[in-house]
Structure 1
Amino acid sequence: MKQGLSLRVSQHLALTPQLQQSIRLLQLSTLELSQEVEQMLDDNPFLEVGIDEAPREEFGLSHADTQVSTEDRESEYATSTTSSSTDNTGSDSQMESESPLSPQDDNQNWEGDGTSEIAPDDSEWGGDAPPRTNNNESDGEVDATELARSQMSLTEFLHRQALALRLSEEDRAALRFLIESLNEDGYLEDSLEELAQSLAEPDDELEEIEELQHRFTMALGLLQSLEPVGVGARTLEECLTLQLRALADDEAEEEQEQIRVAAINMCACPMDLVARRDVKRLASQCRTSDTVIKAALGLIASLEPKPGRRFVDVERNIVIPDVIVTKVGRGAQANFRVRLNQDVMPRLKVHDIYANALKQHKGGGRDASVNAALQQRLQEARWFIKNIQQRFDTILRVSNAIVDRQKNFFTHGELAMRPLVLREIADELGLHESTISRVTTAKYMSTPHGTFELKYFFGSSLGTETGGNASSTAVRALIKQFVSSEDPKKPLSDSQLSDMLKEQGIECARRTVAKYREALRIAPTNLRKAL
């Protein structure tokens, strides 16, 4: 084998840590970005939230190395002291215990405090933001999370009712165990035999297991007598039956009682017949008239299939828009202004005190490795701030491009939405399609017609008779409009909807109509038909 040297030129893309962080921040939602910022504030000492009033345009690089005069420092101290004394009027003891430091004490601190010398680059890295405060200290404001946590759960509600029952220790323990075994919908998924087996010891005899199962049977009857009605059911049929039996009224009219009994009998039939509202077969199996079956179906539809639904502590995610679009002007001169939501923008800056202390400290020997590590952390803070600013700049650019192309939507609504794909915005802004996809995912825009995800404004096109294109979003809105105005006794089929779209000049097949209808969560014809 002969060895030799050769030169070869090649190109490859290297994803630096800064670029990887930029891509990752771009695809995060507002909530995820907030969590990322909190984590970075905890991990990086050079990063802090800007709370001082320091507009960028008034703080140029030409003044970065200018020394602050002694008169200015004394004036600043006098102003802060006067403000502090004014706020604490009438509480002398508190003023004595929380008196500010004197100028002499301030001079004893280490010199790199950010007031005598400011790093040229660090001053340009952050904006301003109000200080983070606790909601408990605000005037009458209550945290929504605390309100959600204060909601009583289903198990707590049932335990409180069980305290009012006069039971023996064994029965109370059995009832408590059944309550804890319910799922979030209020159903008892495991059979009583399985629950008894789970509590039985390996050496227990069969009689002891049967005794435990008997205890659970008695406790189940008590559980199903509690509120909400239907709790403790094993199946949907049992849940509906419990609610129907609770509707029994001795003073009810004969017709109403007949409907209730028919509904109970229907719960004993296969539930797919009830779901399909097969009136003929239900009337045959329940041996009653079609009129009674239709009324019984209406009664069943008014029941609650999930008794524990209102007790579920569902995390309510409030959608906070990243971009706000407002209308400017009237009539033909109307225009739309796009701006970022300042409430979701983290205002970060490099900690001047720590940054300048690191700049003035020149360690050697053993301190060289520590100094290099701190320099790296400082650079990470700068890159993090830059990537966040770049993230919001990209969101604003994409939002402006969307608004320019979808002006008809902002003026007339979703029926005027035009077809739009990611490639059009990518070509206009000189970005990659994957970047547009990351920007439009989990980012929201507040518009005069509501709050929508940025991806909502993109949709495929359907051909029209005139040779133009119609947006799939507009077609879905048109289908929703047709269904909302239909006759409940004669609902429109998918074929009829397809024909109505053709009358509007939009070529849309029946299968496409069915797909759009399912996406809109509109039931098929047989389930929309009024009985």
Structure 2
Amino acid sequence: MLKQHLQFKLSQKLSPQQIQLMKLIQLPTQAFEQRLKQELEENPALEGGKEENDSIDDEYDDLYNNEPDGDSINTEDINIDEYLSDDEIPDYRTKANNYSADDDEKSVPYAAGTSFNQYLLNQLNTVYLNDEEWSIAEFLVGSVDESGYIRRPLADIMDDLAFTQNIYTDEKTIESVLKVVQALDPPGVAARSLEESLIIQLKRKEPNANIERAILILEKSFDQFTKKHYKKLIQKHSITEDELKGAISEIEKLNPKPGGSYAGNNRIVEHVVPDFSIRIVEGELELTLNGRNAPELHVSKEYNNMLKGFKDSKEKSKSQKDTVMFIKQKLDSAKWFIDAIKQRQQTLLITMSAIMEYQKEYFLTGDERNLRPMILKDIADEIQMDVSTVSRVANSKYVDTPYGTKLIKEYFSESMKNEQGEDVSTKEIKKILETVITEEVKKKPLTDDKLAAILKEKGYPIARRTVAKYREQLGIPVARLRKQI
């Protein structure tokens, strides 16, 4: 049985202007400049530079907001039906509104230059190969990933050659062509494993005793080498500790990712432009916003005059009404954009100022141990704004300090209590952990249990699993892999 009833529901939705403002706040300096340039190109009513007559905005407000007299043109004079679509379904009903304010318009940057695979193919032109070998070599080069490896078994490559290239061959032929590809630069390219890549690189060097020992260790005892079982290597190969050191020294000079050594001109270099600057002036912190975030903009005087001219005109043709609607739309957009930029500047300064005051001791000393535990909500509560607004500033903006240029979100961290019951930053604990590991005896590196005991002695009672988590976040391997002879 169908029933019909009324239901009142209170919901909160972001207006298009609010969404655009959030996106403006999120933009770093360089992206903001591009957005500003785009708006200036698209809206002729918006102009850059300082305006001589500061009363233009007031004139526009008078034209737009004052009570219309008998001769003025206002929206009541305009037949709204003339401006709606002829379709039965209005245009706004066909547009989805189930997008998030966090959705960004992403564009894929393209860079000119020679790719890594093309660089390898260019080298193949100097090698004599028959037609079939060339096709196999070209296919192998296409299978090389950005690290410089071929990750697929030769049997799979043989099948692909048959199905996609109509080339029927065997693994032995493919392997012989693979040797040709592996002779290309950079050394170690087109290897099927780390072990093979390192051996190829060693064989390309001028031979000596250390290199020969290094090749033998990699060929016969690669697993023991990776696990740093040095005593077993000394016994198995009947060598001294110094001879093992010499062989390991040669291996450490090699590149585990040969593809990474290609310095082609197709790589995109991202330059960081600081959005804020913090300086210490007479013992006090001074915060400034990058001037490129505060452009001088004004509403076009010419467009205001045009609107005023239409206001004074007695003739009310449809073309004039269309023009008035266009001008009002562009002037509204220009005024909103100018106001949005001012609000963006204010939001950025308020947020960064609160962060600077919260971490004042750190910014005055540069000592990471003085970083206070700080989460997004701390700053959001301080400035009485939403957490998402603080997140947009912290995740995309950089600040130039006397101690280097850093991403703002790096100053945020969770808290943990020390033995005195005080809240300390996890960054402080990580810094101490890193220092302890740096100063350890490399012949007998400290295990996570021992590291936890040392931190407890220093007043930071944390569990072994927490030590392991922090160590991994710092990119430090386990004790066995830190061992040196």
Matched, 1:469 2:431: no
Measured after TM superposition, the shift of residue 467 of structure 1 is 3.2
Distance 1:201 1:289 in 2: 50
Query: In the alignment, what sits opposite 1:361?
Result: 310
What is the SS of the residue equivalent to 2:44?
coil
Letter in 2 for 1:303: L
Using the size of structure 1 for normalisation, the TM-score is 0.70
Query: In the alignment, what sits opposite 2:99?
Result: none
Distance 2:384 2:425 in 1: 24
Unaligned runs of 5+ in 2: 1-5, 64-109
Measured after TM superposition, the shift of residue 338 of structure 1 is 0.1
In 2 relative to 1, CA 372–60 (structure 1 residues): closer, same or farther, beyond 3 Å?
closer
Deviations 1:297-337 (A, max 9, x none): 444333212211122644332222111001101xxxx0110
Deviations 1:210-269 (A, max 9, x none): 27x6664443222112222111222222212212332362xx34x6533432232234xx
Query: In the alignment, what sits opposite 2:475?
Result: 521
Letter in 2 for 1:241: I
Letter in 2 for 1:178: L
In 2 relative to 1, CA 64–174 (structure 1 residues): closer, same or farther, beyond 3 Å?
closer
In 2 relative to 1, CA 260–178 (structure 1 residues): closer, same or farther, beyond 3 Å?
closer
In 2 relative to 1, CA 306–10 (structure 1 residues): closer, same or farther, beyond 3 Å?
closer
Matched, 1:433 2:387: yes
What is the SS of the residue equivalent to 2:285?
strand
Query: In the alignment, what sits opposite 1:20?
Result: 19
Deviates more, 1:168-177 or 1:21-30: 168-177
Letter in 2 for 1:37: L
Query: In the alignment, what sits opposite 1:261?
Result: 216
Matched, 1:411 2:360: no
Query: In the alignment, what sits opposite 2:181?
Result: 223
Q: Which residue, 493, 499, 513 being the options, matches 2:453?
A: 499
Measured after TM superposition, the shift of residue 379 of structure 1 is 1.4
What is the SS of the residue equivalent to 1:320?
coil
Deviates more, 1:373-382 or 1:517-526: 373-382
Query: In the alignment, what sits opposite 2:143?
Result: 181
Deviations 1:83-111 (A, max 9, x none): xxxxxxxxxxxxxxxxxxxxxxxxxxxxx
Measured after TM superposition, the shift of residue 516 of structure 1 is 1.7
* Equivalent pairs, count: 427
**Conservation of the 8 A alpha-carbon contact between 2:368 and 2:427:** yes
Measured after TM superposition, the shift of residue 25 of structure 1 is 2.1
**Conservation of the 8 A alpha-carbon contact between 1:244 and 1:263:** no
In 2 relative to 1, CA 311–248 (structure 1 residues): closer, same or farther, beyond 3 Å?
closer
Query: In the alignment, what sits opposite 1:444?
Result: 398
Letter in 2 for 1:262: I
**Conservation of the 8 A alpha-carbon contact between 2:303 and 2:331:** no
**Conservation of the 8 A alpha-carbon contact between 1:470 and 1:506:** no
Measured after TM superposition, the shift of residue 10 of structure 1 is 8.4
Matched, 1:162 2:124: yes
**Conservation of the 8 A alpha-carbon contact between 1:174 and 1:219:** yes
In 2 relative to 1, CA 529–64 (structure 1 residues): closer, same or farther, beyond 3 Å?
closer
Matched, 1:209 2:160: no
Distance 1:356 1:477 in 2: 63
**Conservation of the 8 A alpha-carbon contact between 1:321 and 1:341:** yes
Letter in 1 for 2:471: R
Measured after TM superposition, the shift of residue 184 of structure 1 is 1.8
**Conservation of the 8 A alpha-carbon contact between 2:211 and 2:247:** no
Measured after TM superposition, the shift of residue 397 of structure 1 is 0.9
Deviations 1:75-132 (A, max 9, x none): xxxxxxxxxxxxxxxxxxxxxxxxxxxxxxxxxxxxxxxxxxx75799xxxxxxxxxx
Matched, 1:481 2:396: no
What is the SS of the residue equivalent to 1:210?
coil
Letter in 2 for 1:472: T
Measured after TM superposition, the shift of residue 490 of structure 1 is 2.7
Measured after TM superposition, the shift of residue 464 of structure 1 is 2.5
**Conservation of the 8 A alpha-carbon contact between 1:47 and 1:348:** yes
Q: Which residue, 385, 394, 397 being the options, matches 2:347?
A: 394
In 2 relative to 1, CA 46–189 (structure 1 residues): closer, same or farther, beyond 3 Å?
farther
Distance 2:439 2:256 in 1: 29
Matched, 1:490 2:444: yes
Q: Which residue, 244, 249, 253 being the options, matches 1:302?
A: 253
Measured after TM superposition, the shift of residue 289 of structure 1 is 5.2
Query: In the alignment, what sits opposite 2:228?
Result: 277
**Conservation of the 8 A alpha-carbon contact between 1:277 and 1:297:** no
What is the SS of the residue equivalent to 1:183?
coil
Query: In the alignment, what sits opposite 2:75?
Result: none
Distance 2:232 2:296 in 1: 66
**Conservation of the 8 A alpha-carbon contact between 1:263 and 1:293:** no
Distance 2:57 2:473 in 1: 58
Deviates more, 1:307-316 or 1:170-179: 170-179
Using the size of structure 2 for normalisation, the TM-score is 0.76
What is the SS of the residue equivalent to 2:169?
helix
Distance 1:191 1:510 in 2: 40
Distance 2:165 2:143 in 1: 24
In 2 relative to 1, CA 230–11 (structure 1 residues): closer, same or farther, beyond 3 Å?
closer
Measured after TM superposition, the shift of residue 455 of structure 1 is 2.0
Distance 1:181 1:421 in 2: 45
Deviations 1:10-37 (A, max 9, x none): 8654422222222232233444434433
Deviations 1:364-397 (A, max 9, x none): 4354345324422331232122222212211111
Deviations 1:332-376 (A, max 9, x none): xx0110000113545544333344324433564354345324422
Letter in 1 for 2:418: T
Query: In the alignment, what sits opposite 2:334?
Result: 381
Distance 1:478 1:214 in 2: 55
Measured after TM superposition, the shift of residue 447 of structure 1 is 0.9
In 2 relative to 1, CA 266–350 (structure 1 residues): closer, same or farther, beyond 3 Å?
farther
Distance 2:393 2:53 in 1: 31
In 2 relative to 1, CA 399–230 (structure 1 residues): closer, same or farther, beyond 3 Å?
same
In 2 relative to 1, CA 216–405 (structure 1 residues): closer, same or farther, beyond 3 Å?
same
Measured after TM superposition, the shift of residue 438 of structure 1 is 2.3
In 2 relative to 1, CA 167–202 (structure 1 residues): closer, same or farther, beyond 3 Å?
closer
What is the SS of the residue equivalent to 2:459?
coil
